[in-house]
Structures are given as structure tokens and as C-alpha cells.
């Protein structure tokens, strides 16, 4: 675990603008003691690819934009691993690993958001968002005119938690956000309680097929079972 206040100003700013929940601020993968070792190894291999510029805007590579899908029942640490991976990247990556152009300063290279909050943010954009909300939404898609605001590594948490009540446009929104980021060469880590084979019934054939292309699927289980009990 690290203290954000001990970091140099740029990395400190990145951490403070990433919307990390307070209970997990300062965590890296070393702190995920209840996770299975093989899961941490796989996540670290993926982070190494990101660090080596083989995923973020890696033009012409099959790995370009490819993210991680963490599936598991509640309480097994999916979100904690995702948050720890996000912070480890901001803590340890060379600045240019995030595809920073010379002379530019990234505002928000990494970000954490729940899918419900993505839905709320899109609703605000439709109804007349503030400038900050519009910039955040465009940055999530990777389509902000000012590239400094385009989020290189995004975590979308709790996909499927409220799937029973999702409307058609909300399901389309999920596909649009994930597909747009992937097409822009920007990886996403998603956490979900919906098995990959069940995505067809919930989100449709197109989204399920796309998920197989754009994500490495990982079934997450903790050593101790449900950690919330």
C-alpha cells in the first residue's frame, strides 16, 4: 500500500482525479492477499503489455485496445483487483506508456466508474450536461477533442448488477461505450456478475460476440470465498 501524498505532483494528481473509492486508495496488486495467485499473475501480464505499448493505441496489433473482463459472484474481490491494477499503472508506468505526445500533460489517464454512473452521466449529456460532465463522457469514449482528457485505462464496475431493469437504450449504451473505446485503441477493465455465455440473452448477440473479441475473460474467486461475510 502506498500513500498518495508521498507521490510527485503529476502522479498524485492522476490518483486524485481517478475517482478511486476511499477504501481502496493506495492499493496495488500486492495488497490483494485474498486473490488467487494465478489471477494476479494474469493481470500483471496484461499490465506489462499495456506498459510496453502493445495495447493502448497499438496500431495494427491484435492486442490493440484489448481489456479484461472480471466475472464472479459478489464479494470475491473483482472490484478490488480492478482498482489495484488501475492504481499500480498510475504509480509505476513510465509517463509515455499512456501514449502521451511530447509536450502534453495527461489530465486523467485512468478512471473508475460504475455502469450505473455511466448511465446517469449519459442521461445528463442528453438533458444538457455541464461542460465538465460532457468532457468526462467524451473522455470515457476516447473522443474528447483535447486528447489530454481521453481516458487511456478505464474501469467500469458492476455491469449486469441491474440488468433486469435495463432499458433498450441502456443496453445499447453499454455496447456503444465498450465498442467506441475498443475502436479507439483504449482498453477497459470491466467487472460483472454475468457469465460470458449469458451475455447473449441480456445484451444481444452483437455485444456478446464483441466481448469475446475485446476482452480477456477471467473468472475471479477469492481464497476465502465471499469476503463480505
Give the tens place of pLDDT for each residue, 82-131.
999 999 999 999 988 998 876 678 899 999 999 999 999 998 988 887 89
Q: What is the share, in percent, of the chain residues with pLDDT greater than 90?
A: 70
Model confidence band, residue 227 (pLDDT cutoffs 50, 70, 90): low
Residues comprising the chain, all counted: 229
Model confidence band, residue 201 (pLDDT cutoffs 50, 70, 90): confident
Entry pTM: 0.93
- Domain range annotation of the chain: 61-219
Report pLDDT for 36: 93
- Report d(CA 140, CA 71) in Å as an integer: 22
Give the tens place of pLDDT for each residue, 180-189.
999 999 999 9
Instruction: Name beta bridge partners: 188.
Output: 154
| Cell numbers standing for residue 66 | 484489448
Report pLDDT for 70: 97
For 61-219, CATH gives 3.40.50.300
Report pLDDT for 117: 94
Report pLDDT for 226: 63
Report pLDDT for 147: 93
| Residue of 12, 14, 101, 102 whose CA lies nearest to 56 | 101
Task: For 42, list phi and psi in degrees, rounded to 5.
Answer: -65, -40
Amino acid at each position: 500500500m502506498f500513500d498518495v501524498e508521498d507521490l510527485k505532483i503529476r502522479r498524485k494528481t492522476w490518483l486524485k482525479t481517478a475517482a478511486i473509492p476511499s477504501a481502496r486508495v493506495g492499493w496495488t496488486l500486492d495488497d490483494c492477499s485474498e486473490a488467487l495467485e494465478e489471477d494476479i499473475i494474469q493481470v500483471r501480464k496484461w499490465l506489462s503489455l499495456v506498459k510496453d505499448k502493445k495495447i493502448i493505441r497499438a496500431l495494427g496489433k491484435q492486442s490493440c485496445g484489448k481489456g479484461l473482463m472480471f466475472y464472479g459472484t459478489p464479494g470475491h474481490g473483482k472490484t478490488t483487483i480492478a482498482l489495484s491494477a488501475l492504481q499500480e499503472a498510475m504509480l509505476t508506468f513510465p509517463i509515455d506508456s499512456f501514449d502521451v505526445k511530447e509536450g502534453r500533460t495527461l489530465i486523467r489517464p485512468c478512471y473508475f466508474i460504475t455502469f450505473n454512473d455511466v448511465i446517469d452521466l449519459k442521461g445528463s449529456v442528453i438533458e444538457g450536461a455541464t461542460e465538465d460532465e460532457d468532457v468526462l463522457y467524451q473522455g470515457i469514449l476516447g473522443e474528447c477533442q483535447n486528447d489530454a482528457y481521453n481516458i487511456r485505462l478505464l474501469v467500469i464496475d458492476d455491469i449486469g448488477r441491474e440488468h433486469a431493469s435495463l432499458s433498450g437504450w441502456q443496453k445499447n449504451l453499454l455496447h456503444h461505450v465498450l465498442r467506441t473505446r475498443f475502436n479507439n485503441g483504449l482498453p477497459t477493465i470491466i467487472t460483472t456478475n454475468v457469465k460470458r455465455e449469458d451475455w447473449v440473452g441480456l445484451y444481444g448477440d452483437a455485444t456478446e460476440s464483441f466481448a469475446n473479441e475485446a476482452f480477456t475473460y477471467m473468472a475471479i474467486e477469492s481464497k476465502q470465498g465471499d469476503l463480505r461475510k
